[in-house]
Structure 1
Amino acid sequence: MTHAKGARIRVRGLQPAQVLAGLAGIAFLVVGIIGFTRTGFGDFAGHHEAGFWRFSANPLMSLVRVVTGVVGLLLAFGSGRARTFGWLLFIGYGLLFVWGLMIDGLISSNPFATAGNPMDLGPADTWLHLGVAALGLLIAVLPARRTILVPEDETVDEPTVVERHTDHDADRVVTSDERPRRRSFLRRDHDERGPEVTREERPPGLAH
């Protein structure tokens, strides 16, 4: 088994928070540019009839959306920066949501009543800002995909126990007593031919 000393945990690859931050930045940038094309730059903080479906738009609000989109695209290139963008969305558009509730009269007291409605916020815009704040919170708290980096020169291998079997029979030295004896050629020939053959080959004078 191998253990690593000095292993580090790092963020791996493109993170979901970065993807959402980039998509949100593109959406805000596109909507802000379209808003400028519909309202122009006149009456910068006034009321304009041209909007998007039920959502209001004036040059000031379009500028806020363009700035939000640019910031989102810039901060989407890093995991930590994307989460920072999420917190900015949550705080900024959360405050716009509360301000919209005050303007619409859903909150009894409006301490900013003297400021009027410079962004031309309507009921639909108020609830849209609540959704944007929720998206920002999601971007900020999304878990990151991480990986463990193990330096190759700092790995330590644990000693491995290897069972060693010794074959005593293989290591034993064969002695001279245990070696097979060689039989002579004549002895082997005598054993193969038998006693009768041997008796017949003797000279006649020596036969008994």
Structure 2
Amino acid sequence: MTQSPNRLVATIFGAVYLLVGVLGLFVAGGNVAGPDGALLLGVFQVNHLHNIAHLAIGAALLLSGLRGTASAKAVNVTVGAVYLLLGIVGFFLVGTALNILALNTADHILHLASAIVLLGTGLALDRSSAARGATA
């Protein structure tokens, strides 16, 4: 039996977002929430609230990827939709007090790229395996 694309993407993205969340905790310093943050990898602005969000999203993706195809597909679509919204709205939050996650342009691009992969995988792949599961 081959690995489901949704499970594979959810597991990989989950592990990466968990790692990013943990690494971000070490660089965020005293920045808990708000528009100011420290740079992770010299590019991505983070604060502790942003890191907690990465940890929660990473855990949801990883657990869904380990659980099964239907779960991974649902979480991929949900997280992808949230990231699409955040990637677009984020451009308008920079420089305002509403930017409580300390988002910057690099974050927006990463969120939009993640949204494309997660939504694309969740909406387009594993259709045939779902149909096979229904007939089996």
Say whether 1:22 aligns with 2:11: yes
**Amino acid across the alignment from 1:119:** L
1:98 match: secondary structure: helix
Q: 1:130 aligns with which of 94, 112, 122?
A: 112
Query: Could you say what secondary structure the match of 2:45 adopts?
Result: coil
Pick from 35, 43, 47: which aligns with 2:31? 43
Any unmatched runs of 5+ in structure 2? none
The 3 A distance-change label for structure 1 pair 73 and 149 is closer
Q: Residue type matched to 2:70 in 1? A: G
Give the structure-1-normalised TM-score: 0.56
Cα 1:78–1:149 change in 2 (3 A) is: closer
Instruction: Specify the alignment match of 2:68 in structure 1.
Output: 78
Whole-angstrom CA distance in 2 between matches of 1:53 and 1:39:
12
Q: Secondary structure at the match of 1:50?
A: strand
How far residue 13 of structure 1 moved from its aligned partner, in angstroms, is 4.9
1:2-151 pair list within 5 angstroms: 13-40=2-29, 42-46=30-34, 47-76=36-65, 77-104=67-94, 115-141=97-123, 142-144=125-127, 146=129, 147=132
Q: Detail structure 1 runs of 4+ shifted over 4 Å in the superposition.
A: 147-151
Partner amino acid, structure 1, of 2:39: A
Q: C-alpha separation between the residues in 1 aligned to 2:61 and 2:133?
A: 29
Query: TM-score if structure 2 supplies the norm length?
Result: 0.83
What do you get for the CA RMSD once the two structures are aligned?
A: 2.4
Percent identity between the two aligned chains = 27
